[in-house]
Amino acid sequence: VEHNCLGTGAYRSVSEWLEAIKMGRYTEAFVENGYSSMDTVTQVTLEDLRRLGVTLAGHQKKIMNSIQEIRVQLVNGMVPL
Amino acid sequence: MCTNVVCEWLKALRLLQYAESFVDNGYDDLEVCKQIGDPDLDAIGVLLPQHRRRIHAAVRRLKDEASKGD
């Protein structure tokens, strides 16, 4: 796929992303609450995670770190060379 | 083998067998380990009561050390 160079393109779906970081148990909560594409996932805040039922500190940390990485990749991918 | 502080911490507790699961669940520094309670241990898969007690006691020590530092 063409836009694979953009960070979010590295994961084709929310489910693939969550499985990759071993947080697959939250896939349903994400999708049911409207975070069903990688674009929407980059907007997620810690507050949102709590609402989604991600209450464990380690899981929050892991998901937020991964979102942060995706944001950085997205920004870098969009910067013209 | 032990490249991470949580690894070192678990090694000292003789619970190194859980290191991979701790890191996989996002408990990869001592700051986040301070927040460990029963639900966290459930997720990590620490099921044996004696192991859970040992970790709870160690978490209390982490918190005590932190409050002394203030």
Say what the ipTM of the complex is: 0.87
pTM for the predicted model, two decimal places: 0.86
| Whether pLDDT at A77 is above 90 | no
Find, in chain B, the residue whose alpha carbon is nearest to that of A23: B25
Query: Å from B44 to nearest chain A CA?
Result: 10
Would you state the pLDDT for residue A3?
Answer: 44
Q: What is the mean pLDDT of residues A18-36?
A: 96
- Better-scored residue on pLDDT, A75 or B6: B6
> Residue A66 has what pLDDT?
96
Predicted confidence (pLDDT) at residue B69 exceeds the cutoff of 50: yes
- Mean per-residue pLDDT, A26-46: 95
Distance CA B11, CA A69 (A): 30
pLDDT score for A2: 41
**Alpha-carbon dihedral of residues A56, A58, A62, A63, nearest 10 degrees?**
10
The vertex-B52 CA angle with B51 and B53, nearest 5°, equals 90
> Which of A54, A60, A61 is most worth mutating to test chain B (most B CB atoms within 10 A of its CB)?
A61
The structure tokens listed for A69 are 């990485």
CA distance B42 to A47: 23
